Amino acid sequence: MSSTADKVKGLANEAAGNVKQGLGKATGNEKLQAEGKAQEVKGEGQQLKGDAKQAVNDTADAIKGKH
C-alpha cells in the first residue's frame, strides 16, 4: 500500500472513530465509545505508517538525486 493510501485510510478510521465515540457518549454506550477510541488510535497509527513510508521514499529520492 502506498503512503498516500495509508494516510487516507488512517484519516477515515480516525474520523469514524471520532463519530463512534461521540455517539457512544451521547447515548451512554461505553462499548461504542471504546470501539471508537480503538478505531481512532488505529487511524493515527495508519497515518504514522504513511508518514514513515513517505520519509523513506523522500530519502531514497534524495540519495538517487545526488548520484
Q: Could you tell me which residues come within 8 angstroms of residue 2 by beta carbon, excluding any fewer than 6 positions away?
A: 53
Q: What is the per-residue pLDDT across 54-65, written as a single tens digit (0 to 9) for each?
A: 999 999 989 988
The pLDDT assigned to 65 comes to 84
Q: What is the per-residue pLDDT across 10-27, written as a single tens digit (0 to 9) for each?
A: 999 999 999 999 999 999
The pLDDT assigned to 66 comes to 65
The CA–CA distances, whole Å, from 59 to 6, 14, 36, 55 equal 18, 27, 35, 6
- Indicate the domain borders of the chain: 3-66
* Cα 44 to Cα 41: distance, rounded to the nearest angstrom: 5
Check: CB of residue 37 under 8 Å from CB of residue 24. no
Q: What is the per-residue pLDDT across 35-44, written as a single tens digit (0 to 9) for each?
A: 999 999 999 9
